[in-house]
Structure 1
Amino acid sequence: MTTDRSKHVTKIDRYILLLFLRTVFVCFLSLAGIFIVFHAFTAFDDLVEQSRGGQSLPVVIVRFYGPYLILLFDMTGAIITLMAFLFTVGWLRRTGELTATLSAGISHGRIFRPMMIASLVIISSQLFCREMIIPLFRNSLTMKAENLDGETEQAVRPTFDQATGILIEGAKLKMKRLTISRPNFRIDADYGDFGDLILADTAVWVDANADHPGGYLATNVKRPEAIDRIPSSGLNDQLVLMTSSDQPWLASGECFIVTSVHPNMLQTQDTAVRLASIAELSGRVRNPDVHSSLSLQTTLHERIVRAPLDFGLVLLILPMVVNRRGRKLFVLIGSAVGIVLLFFLLKTIASALGGSGTLFSPGVAAWLPLLVVCPLAFVRLRAVQHV
């Protein structure tokens, strides 16, 4: 008897899981279709122009919209999961399948378990995309259609390296090549004959190797003049500015500037921070040579707590679908939307407090929504788990 009951429950699990995942898939495809159709109206000519380079139009569309669909999944996955949860339960209630299953002595918690596990998998998939995939396409997500195969130029955010006393500026930044056009390295330290400014045509980021630490290789140096006759100089027994005068691996007219300020830190676009991984954001905050704003510190903590906070939101909505009062589906959806709005309002207020340093530190402000939502979600879940 126990074996038959277990098999019966397993079949219900598979049925509910399939219905839930199908709803999630349809909702996401609907959003993706709306996004592509509306965006294609403004970018279609540019996409057609790209296809004349040898690739077919479908391939160009996939190359351009593929990264955006991954980003769309990251932005909407949790909300779609919530809506799919409500629609799935509404469908089960409308067809009478939920009532029949409850009549067999199976609790709401047992019925909803497949959807809870699937929600956890979806949120984990969002985390994987956010940390491993989206950062790889960061440049594509900041491009326009006409620059799909080219290199976009960005403004350079002036950044001061506190360890070397050098302010890094420039005309344009090319992230694909990690290159600064017409860089200005303003020196606020004593480096001998280098003076207070280094001007060059380009500066390319070079990772650390046996010859030098990480830094920028400036080519065709305009100032100081006669760069090849100026000996390398540094601070605290460590070379910072290197020239061909005593560094044989450098060519004539080149100067190497040692710094920990990677080109990623020079980007002015907000997507450079929003699309960065936790490891990269952590590296920026922990870098003692560069000032980290309270807003950046808050963003880092928000990224750390986002996955558990999204799952806490799912658990917070879950008890609503038990619906002991017989409320209609659209009333449940309206109530869920209200809770979601309050949830994002709490996150927004906490983020503003952390970014401004008002009342809370960035870490406490970012973790505050999790400390509020998760206990409430756990209590509400326990209240209906065996109902």
Structure 2
Amino acid sequence: MSLIDRYICWLFLRVSLCSAACLIGLIVLIDVAGNFEEFIGFGDHSLHGFLRVIGTYYLARSLIYFDWMSALIALMSTIFVMTWLKRTNEMAALMAAGIPSSRIVKPLIIAAVAVATGAALNREFLLPRFSDELSRNAQDLRGTRKRPLEPKYDAETDILLAGHHTLAAQQQIVNAAFQLPQSVPGYGRKLVAKTASYRPPDNDRPGGYLLSGITQPESLSKLPTLTITGRPVVYSPIDTDWLEENQCFVVSKVTFQQLAGGKAWQRYAPTWHLISALRNPSLDYGADLRVTVHQRLLRPFLDISLLLLGLPIVLSRNHQSLFVAVGQCLLLVAAYYLLTMVFEWMGSRSYLLTPAQAAWGPLIVLAPFAYTVSKRMWN
């Protein structure tokens, strides 16, 4: 890497950090102002507790903010660096030395690719580690707030998983009422309990929900384990040594996050978890999850296409104004996100396109434009 490459990359890094800090800081300030009372309460009405709460809360949320704005940060940083080089006449000096503009922007493109790669790694490795914290809002930092539960069918066992509300911290359903696919002698049609706590698979034990404080059926402790199509579905304490008398265990491959998190878990789950969810026989997701999987794979390429569309704007000889260039690029970003949302809607809501077509559509539209406008720059 030459001296000029290191200089441009160092300038890009500083601008990127400043841009990210300003944008994320602005969002944090607005959010803190709207949730000030909640943070004070969770911080035990002390300055130290308040700073600790908002530090912990926004440390995780800064990752999702970066995911939202990574393409914008890379584009804005590139615009600022190129405009700075033009305003200080460094660009003219480099071109007078025989260095073409395409060679000058090469380290910027490499740096933008690094930002897109970092955003992809953030989505796949960092966001899943903080998925629990990110799924809670400022009113439920400790996960103890009651959240209404939307009933969900287990497509493999045909059991309806329902209850009054959930507690995220305990991964628990309160006043659980699970409905069996058909009336079973002794069991009836429903399993009603005070709580249902999710238990992941462990050695030979399947994953599912541990029902405690069972009120229906009343004689559960005398009933054998319920099997459907030859597989145990409801374990009974009479023939299961790890269950207490007033407990039972309902087998399900629907995790607590997938049951209680709605669609929020999809935003914070890694791609391989999304693919596993599509292959999970207990889940029956529509086209929206398939669109999300395709978008995850194509997101870095879309970010680079946006950069290649924005570079010719700032390299134009018509103006050297930073504000004009930023304004034009903001319009470009708005058009980019609008195009992405329209294709997503057509694939996941209206079913006008297949999930693959909806995800690839923006890239098919943007890539030729990016190639056309950037070809002049390379020439």
Match of 1:281 among 274, 279, 282: 274
Query: How much does 1:326 deviate?
Result: 4.6
The alignment partner of 1:71 has SS state of: helix
Q: Which amino acid aligns with 2:275?
A: S
Give CA-to-partner distance per residue, 1:136-161, whole Å, 9 cap, x none: 22332343445434533322121111
Q: Counterparts of 1:63-82 in structure 2 under 5 Å?
A: 63-82=56-75
- 2:136 is aligned with 1:143: yes
Using a 3 Å threshold, how does the CA distance of structure 1 residues 150 and 187 change in structure 2: closer, same or farther? closer
Residues 1:306 and 2:334 are matched in the alignment: no
2:54 to 41, 50, 61: 61
Quick one: distance in 2 between partners of 1:211 and 1:190? 28
Correspondence for 1:380 among 355, 370, 373: 373
Identify if the C-alpha distance between structure 1 residues 211 and 194 changes in structure 2 by more than 3 Å, giving closer, same or farther.
farther
Higher strand share: 2
Match in the other structure for 1:17: 9
- Are 2:29 and 1:37 aligned? yes
**Secondary structure at the counterpart of residue 147 of structure 2:** coil
Task: Provide the C-alpha distance between the structure 2 equivalents of 1:43 and 1:289, rounded to a whole number of angstroms.
Answer: 38
1-side partners of 2:358 and 2:174: how far apart? Answer: 39
Distance in 1 (alpha carbons) for counterparts of 2:10 and 2:80: 13
Instruction: Report the alpha carbon displacement of residue 217 of structure 1 after superposing the two structures with TM.
Output: 1.0
CA positional deviation for 1:270: 4.4
Instruction: Pick closer, same or farther for the CA change 1:260–1:52 going to 2, 3 Å.
Output: same
How many residue pairs were aligned? 378
Q: Does the aligned pair in 2 maintain the 1:228–1:244 contact within 8 Å?
A: yes
Q: Report if aligned partners of 2:142, 2:169 keep a CA contact under 8 Å in 1.
A: no
Q: Classify 1:268/1:249 alpha carbon distance in 2 versus 1 (closer, same or farther; 3 Å).
A: closer
Q: Does 1:166 align with 2:159?
A: yes
**Structure 1 residues 286, 357: CA separation in 2 closer, same or farther (over 3 Å shift)?**
farther
Residues 329 and 194 of structure 1, relative CA distance in 2, 3 Å threshold? same
How far apart are the structure 1 equivalents of 2:262 and 2:349? Answer: 20
What's 2:353 paired with? 360
2:175/2:194 contact within 8 Å kept: yes
> Is 1:46–2:46 an aligned residue pair?
no
1:77-92 alignment, distance < 5 Å: 77-92=70-85
Contact 1:64-1:140 within 8 A present in 2 as well: yes
Find the aligned partners of 2:94 and 2:289 in 1 and give their Cα distance: 49
Gaps of 5+ in 2: none
Question: RMSD in angstroms over aligned alpha carbons?
Answer: 2.2
Q: Aligned to 2:238, which of 233, 242, 245?
A: 245
1:168 is displaced (CA, Å) by 0.5
Cα deviation per residue 1:279-313 (whole Å; 9 max; x = unaligned)?
22222222233221222322222222212211221
- C-alpha distance after superposition, 1:103-133 (max 9, x if no partner): 1111222111221111111111111222222
Query: Is there any run of 5+ residues in structure 1 with no aligned partner, and where?
Result: 1-8
Hey, what does 2:308 align to over in structure 1? 315
Q: Are 1:197 and 2:190 an aligned pair?
A: yes
TM-score for both structures, normalised by structure 2 = 0.92
Deviates more, 1:16-25 or 1:202-211: 202-211
Contact preservation (8 Å) 1:164, 1:189: no
Look up the equivalent residue of 1:39 and give its one-letter code: D
Moved more, 200-209 or 40-49: 40-49
Give CA deviations for 1:8-36 in whole Å, capped at 9, x if unaligned. x8111111112122111111211222222
Q: Does 1:186 align with 2:200?
A: no
Could you tell me which residue of structure 2 aligns to residue 351 of structure 1?
A: 344
1:28 matched to 2:15? The reply is no
More moved, 113-122 vs 351-360: 351-360
327 and 102 in structure 1: CA distance in 2 versus 1, 3 angstrom threshold: same
| TM-score normalised per structure 1 | 0.90
Letter in 2 for 1:186: Q
1:340 paired with 2:300, answer: no
- Alpha-carbon displacement from aligned partner over 1:333-353 (angstroms, at most 9, x marks no partner): 333223222222211111111
Deviations for 1:29-63, whole angstroms, at most 9, x for unmatched residues? 11222222222223333323333389644322211
1:284–1:318 Cα change, 3 Å: same
Q: Contact 2:102–2:378 at 8 Å: present in 1 too?
A: yes
| 1:103–1:368 Cα change, 3 Å | same
Map residues 217-296 of structure 1 onto 2, 5 A cutoff.
217-267=210-260, 269-296=262-289
Residues 345 and 37 of structure 1: CA distance in aligned 2, closer, same or farther (over 3 Å): closer
SS of residue matched to 2:234: strand
Structure 1 residues 381 and 361 mapped into 2: Cα distance closer, same or farther (>3 Å)? same
